[in-house]
Amino acid sequence: MSQQSDVRDFLTSRRARMTPEQAALPAHGGRRRVPGLRREEVALLAGMSVDYYNQLERGTLRGVSEGVLDSVARVLRLNEAERSHLFDLWRAANAAPARRRHTTTRTVRPGLQRLLDAMTEAPAGILNHRMDILAANLLGRALFSHALSGSGNLARFAFLDARARDLYLDWDGAADDSVAILRTATGSNPHDPELSALVSELSTHSEDFRTRWAAYEVRFHRTGTKRLRHPVAGVLDLSFEAVELAADPGLALLAYTAAAGSHSEDALRLLTSWAMTQELPL
């Protein structure tokens, strides 16, 4: 995984999904040799030379202006997450060498742990950009006890632990989310050796991961729903919120809630009672 290859793969994949009709280009007869737009078509629409756009697709973003990136994002119709990822790649390419050093966050502040412990009705945890669970409250430790009994990394759990397919009733959706989160993380953390090692490990040992990684999907993971099947609490339909922590860059608070009066709310109460009698990891 290199910064230049990330840029190349991202722009190529986004160009391939665009059709001439979407770009309001005249349709010509005959079969096109490449899926989506041609490089020269993107260059024309973005107002730059073909040679300059070719340079971008080779992964060279150093010295490129924000205006050029805006034009490319407009032509390729990048959504908010994709546009943010492109600019993350650009910032990484133009960062001074001294700023490229990466420090690993392994612990959370005591105040964050107190906040988690005060959340008694919602499973919650603190995750870093690699999807490592760094801290959790009692319900969070109970809900993800299988993942925490291993490496504590949700992406590794999803792809390398058979129990993940029992926990996630929509395993494909959870797997897609995991890969998209890691893809997004590589843009803002291109010099993180542990992230690179995680991607390499998952690529080596999981064909499901390799296939999804090649699709180059990026997205924000801010809110949504999860359907889980816990061995003690049974099936839970939960909503989640993921909030980035401004005071702790790279960390996010992830919390799950159940609808009031629902079966899942009762199941969380059962899970709480069970967790209080267990020695749970983390």
- pLDDT tens string, the chain, 282 residues long: the values are 578 999 999 999 999 999 888 888 876 655 677 779 999 999 999 999 999 999 999 999 999 999 999 999 999 999 999 999 999 999 999 987 655 555 566 789 999 999 999 999 999 999 999 999 999 999 999 999 999 999 999 999 999 999 999 999 999 999 999 999 999 999 989 889 999 999 999 999 999 999 999 999 999 999 999 999 999 999 999 999 999 999 999 999 999 999 999 999 999 999 999 999 999 999
Please list, in sequence order, all residues whose beta carbon lies within 8 angstroms of the beta carbon of residue 161, skipping any fewer than 6 positions away.
146, 147, 150
User: Strands, E, within 48-88: which ranges?
Assistant: none
Q: What is the C-alpha to C-alpha distance for residues 221 and 214, in angstroms, rounded to an integer?
A: 19
Q: What is the C-alpha to C-alpha distance for residues 279 and 263, in angstroms, rounded to an integer?
A: 26
What's the token pair of residue 186? 């590589």
What's the token pair of residue 187? 């843009």
Q: What is the C-alpha to C-alpha distance for residues 183 and 37, in angstroms, rounded to an integer?
A: 23
Own/partner contacts of 198-201, CB < 8 Å, gap of 24 or more, are 198/130, 198/153, 198/155, 198/156, 199/1, 200/1, 201/156
Contact 14, 76 (CB under 8 A): yes
Residue from 142, 149, 146 nearest 122 by CA? 142
Residue 107 has a pLDDT of 84
Q: Is 36 helix (H, G, I), strand (E, B) or coil?
A: coil
In the DSSP assignment, the letter for residue 27 is P
Residue 168 has a pLDDT of 98
Residue 27 has a pLDDT of 63
pTM score, two decimals?
Answer: 0.91
Q: What is the C-alpha to C-alpha distance for residues 221 and 202, in angstroms, rounded to an integer?
A: 20
Residue 34 has a pLDDT of 74
Please name the residue that has the structure tokens 């050029």. Answer: 68
The alpha carbon of residue 265 and the mean position of all alpha carbons in its chain are separated, in whole angstroms, by 28
